[in-house]
Amino acid sequence: MFEIGPLFAKALVLTGSAIGAGLALFPGVGPGIGQGYAAGKGAEAVARQPESQDVIVRTMLLGQAVAETTGIYGLFIALALLFFNPLIGYLGL
């Protein structure tokens, strides 16, 4: 029967963590597209109604801050998998 050694197990966990960290960064694509779209629409709205610039910019920035949280969560998960790596503790090495 094939037995997994501790070095192979650690390499397997680190490989899975690196792949997971890469996949965790994909949610950063959506906020980038959404924020660019919101900024464009905000600029169009200000061009149509310059007197409402304060309200439009405030609302746009609030929406962009909320949209960015998804990307920040993904970045946090990726950094945790790469540097903190809680999965290594389960190997008992």
Name all domains of the chain by residue range, CATH numbers in brackets.
6-86 (1.20.20.10)
Question: For residue 62, what are the CA distances in angstroms to 20, 30, 32, 33, 74?
Answer: 30, 17, 15, 16, 20
Q: Is residue 60's pLDDT more than 70?
A: yes
Contacts of 29 (CB under 8 A, 6+ apart): none
pLDDT digits (tens, 9 = 90+) for 2-48: 788 888 888 888 999 999 999 998 888 888 888 889 889 999 999 99
Confidence at residue 44, expressed as pLDDT on a 0 to 100 scale:
95
pTM of the model: 0.71
Question: For residue 38, what are the CA distances in angstroms to 21, 41, 44, 57, 59?
Answer: 28, 5, 10, 10, 10
Q: Is residue 90's pLDDT more than 90?
A: no
Confidence at residue 65, expressed as pLDDT on a 0 to 100 scale:
87
Confidence at residue 93, expressed as pLDDT on a 0 to 100 scale:
65
How far apart, in whole angstroms, are the C-alpha atoms of residue 13 and residue 85?
9
